[in-house]
Amino acid sequence: MAGTGDRVTGSGPVIEARDVVKRYETEAETILALAGVSVAVEPGEFVAVMGPSGSGKSTLLNVLGLLDEPTEGAVYLDGEDTSTLTERQRTLARKRTIGFIFQNFYLIPTLSARENVEIPRLLDHDQGSAERAAELLTRVGLGDRLDHTPGELSGGQKQRVAIARSLVNDPRVLLADEPTGNLDRETGRSVLGQFQEICNEGVAVIAVTHDLQVTDHADRTITLVDGRLSSDEPRVVSTGTAGEPDGTTPNGDDATDHAG
């Protein structure tokens, strides 16, 4: 895991948010979820996004994952502006480029582990997808659980199935929302180990989290407060050091412009 940050050079960010503003209009008020955030993530980079509840972390993840559209600003995939894409093209871009991991795993309870991993490719009539699913499950240590349904798996195993699912389309970016939120510490550590392995293959991982353990494994941690970046410092990967205290803003600096 050491040195993943400097292994990737020169190719430019795989995913980038530029001056992203997200406002939600409700009848009573306008909520500013993101107040101009710029983030760029290089291939193979593991970025943790921290911040108190309501700071806009999940909104940022949704916008980066093309699940939500920014009110202002844009998200760039491989340097390409995604704001002009149609719904259909956005869906296709998600399928090709982005893998998702959720706190609640969101596996389909009626499908086996293997079928859950296959899900993103299930409609493609791809003969190799069953094999690939088995391969990925073996890689995350579930080679003997291929035909188990999610009900027969533990939380950590479910999250590993979800990781395998997120990798089935060879994504370039992995977006994880509280990936360790429902796991005990030990299981969380093994999941984070998986993330680092994935990064070593050049996949960027962005994890929104409350868990300091995640920041320990991340190449860098960015903190969101009230929809603004409060720090975006490169981290020297080390073990045993606690990350930034959750929710504090050490200095008043605003969103760091990371574009370019």
Partner 1 sequence: MPDSGRSPLGRLWRRFPVLLIARRNLTRTRARSVLAMLGIVIGVIAIAALGVFGATLQASITGSIGDIGNQVVVSPATDEGVEYLTERDVREIARVSGDAAVVPVRQNVTTVAVRGETARVTVYGMASPGDAYEATSGRIPDTLRSGCLVGADLAERLDIETGDSILVGGQTYRVNAILESQQQFSIIDPGSAVVLPPRDVPGEGYSQVVVTAESGQAANDSAVAIREALNDREERVSIFELGDIVAQIGEAFSAVNLFLVGIGSISLLVAGVSILNVMLMSTIERREEIGVLRAVGYQRLDVLRIMLAEALLLGAIGGAIGTVLSLLGGVLINQLLLGDPMAAFTPTNLGYVFTALGFGVATSLVSGLYPAWKAANERPVDALRK
Which of 212, 198, 175, 187 shows the shortest CA–CA distance to 62? 175
Q: Hey, what are 63's tokens?
A: 């916008």
Binding mask 28-67 for partner 1 (x = CB under 8 A): ------------------------------x---x--x-x
How many Å apart are CA 24 and CA 72, to the nearest integer? 12
Smaller CB separation from partner 1, 175 or 218: 175
One of 6, 12, 81, 108 touching partner 1 (CB under 8 A): 108
Shortest CB 95 distance to partner 1, Å: 2
Residue 110: which residues within 8 A CB-CB, separation 6 or more? 149
> How many of the chain's residues bind partner 1 (CB under 8 A)?
34
Q: Interface with partner 1 includes 165 (CB under 8 A)?
A: yes
Q: Interface with partner 1 includes 104 (CB under 8 A)?
A: yes
Question: Within 140-184, where are the H helices?
Answer: 155-167
- Cα-flanking dihedrals φ and ψ of residue 23, to 5°? -115, 135
Q: Hey, what are 149's tokens?
A: 């349904």
Q: Stretches 7-15, 29-37, 86-94, 232-240: which one binds partner 1 (CB under 8 A)?
A: 86-94
CA 59 and chain centroid, separation: 12
Query: Rule CB under 8 A: which residues touch partner 1?
Result: 58, 62, 65, 67-68, 87-88, 91-92, 94-96, 99-100, 102-104, 106, 108-112, 115, 119-120, 122-123, 125, 130, 147, 165-166, 169
